[in-house]
């Protein structure tokens, strides 16, 4: 596993430990359901603000310095979580966690620095696979740390802090492994990234960012409503939902490790994105047309694999379109847009399920996904690729 991906995986395992117990810790401190929802998006809001900042700083100062500085805050965030005895401290801990979470696009930019155009999509797939693996490993580790009663939140937070420290140590090893590779970015202020708006205005950068935002929005709306939908329609409990997400995560990892290297080399990122969009659209339709245990399990595997492949391919296309000296800015801006989409998605999903009907989040997801598919087919059609080249 490439060193930057190992850093991301180690850090994300800590997040995988924290996220499952965070709502229960908040409820134990007297939080309302609305407060829990706000808590869960606190770190995402910080990522929305900081991801472009970390990205542009990495273009100026070098990737590894920014990664180390950002990840240095993660152990303190988890230690604060371990000692949180009030909701205000819990919110502060999550805000601090967002500082470290916002560095993921810098890791993506570092992977872009170290891969050629042909292998760029595999590099992005490796980073995204770290998410899937972390949210399989993290909850399993957290189950042990939480104890027999499932409420030893302090021990679980200490465990997450340990993984944060390990990721920081691996960042130091990363620096020794490849010293000086990104030094030119730190020593050539004349070539510092242009303002992010110049990235956004370039069609080859705007298209993948917009597509990723739409797909992240619809996936987040499904992600946030699955528990309530499955309880109402299929009478699932929390264990059933956990198993379903495990299936989605496993399908994502399989698609990133097996399908991406084989398909992208043969058909290109544009066509693979189109196929993955079609799989996601089918997955959403299964919720509406065939609401059964088997169909929903299949739908979640299609959605997990589809979103992972779409994001990896589109991130690779964005990275190829952005100049080398603005990789951090491009990835940071993209991550901020995706964070905004991941905040809006649950808001829409909750409103649609509660006010319009249980099938509306998934019907809307299917419509938006198929609309994205049409855009992918048009924008990355062979004639357009010739013009772009």
**What averages of pLDDT result for each successive group of 10 residues across the chain (389 residues)?**
86 87 84 78 89 89 90 95 93 94 90 85 87 82 83 91 94 58 42 55 82 94 80 74 77 91 90 95 93 89 94 91 81 87 86 85 94 93 51
Distance CA 340, CA 337 (A): 5
3 state DSSP class of 118: coil
Distance CA 289, CA 168 (A): 47
194-389 fold: Growth Hormone; Chain: A; (1.20.1250)
Q: What is the pLDDT of residue 59?
A: 86
pTM confidence score? 0.78
Residues of the chain with CATH 1.20.1250.20: 1-176, 194-389
Q: What is the pLDDT of residue 175?
A: 57
Q: Please answer whether residues 372 and 211 qualify as being in contact, where contact means their C-beta atoms are separated by less than 8 angstroms.
A: yes
Distance CA 7, CA 317 (A): 23
* Among the four given CATH numbers 1.10.287.130, 1.20.1250.20, 1.20.140.10, 3.60.15.10, the one describing domain 1-176: 1.20.1250.20
Q: Measure the CA angle with vertex 6, ends 173 and 183; round to 5°.
A: 50
3 state DSSP class of 150: coil
């Amino acid at each position: 596993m490439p060193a930057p991906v190992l850093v991301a995986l180690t850090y994300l395992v800590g997040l995988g430990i924290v996220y499952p117990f965070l709502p229960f810790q908040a409820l134990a401190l007297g939080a309302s359901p609305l407060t829990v929802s706000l808590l869960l998006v606190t770190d995402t809001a910080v990522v929305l603000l900081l991801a472009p900042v970390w990205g542009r700083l990495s273009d100026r100062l070098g990737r590894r310095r920014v990664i180390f500085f950002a990840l240095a805050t993660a152990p303190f965030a988890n230690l604060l979580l371990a000692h949180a005895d009030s909701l205000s401290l819990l919110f502060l801990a999550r805000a601090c966690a967002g500082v470290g979470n916002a560095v993921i696009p810098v890791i993506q930019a570092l992977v872009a620095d170290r891969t050629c155009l042909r292998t760029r999509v595999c590099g992005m797939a490796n980073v995204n696979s770290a998410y899937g693996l972390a949210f399989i490993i993290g909850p399993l580790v957290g189950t042990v740390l939480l104890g027999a009663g499932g409420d030893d939140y302090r021990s679980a937070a200490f465990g997450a802090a340990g993984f944060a420290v390990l990721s920081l140590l691996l960042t130091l090893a990363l620096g020794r492994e490849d010293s000086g590779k990104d030094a030119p970015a730190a020593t050539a202020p004349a070539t510092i990234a242009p303002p992010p708006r110049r990235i956004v205005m370039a069609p080859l950068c705007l298209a993948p960012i917009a597509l990723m935002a739409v797909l992240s929005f619809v996936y987040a709306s499904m992600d946030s409503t699955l528990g309530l939908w499955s309880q109402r329609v299929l009478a699932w409990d929390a264990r059933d939902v956990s198993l379903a997400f495990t299936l989605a995560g496993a399908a994502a990892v399989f698609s990133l490790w097996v399908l991406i290297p084989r398909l992208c080399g043969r058909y290109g990122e544009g066509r693979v994105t189109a196929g993955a969009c079609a799989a996601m659209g089918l997955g959403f339709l299964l919720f509406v047309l065939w609401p059964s245990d088997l169909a929903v399990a299949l739908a979640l595997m299609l959605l997990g694999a589809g979103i992972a492949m779409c994001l990896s391919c589109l991130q690779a296309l964005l990275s190829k379109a952005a100049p080398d000296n603005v990789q951090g800015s491009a990835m940071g801006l993209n991550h901020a847009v995706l964070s905004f989409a991941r905040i809006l998605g649950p808001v829409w999903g909750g409103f649609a399920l509660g006010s319009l009907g249980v099938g509306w989040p998934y019907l809307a997801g299917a419509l938006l996904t198929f609309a994205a598919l049409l855009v992918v087919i048009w924008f990355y059609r062979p004639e357009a690729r010739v013009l772009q080249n």
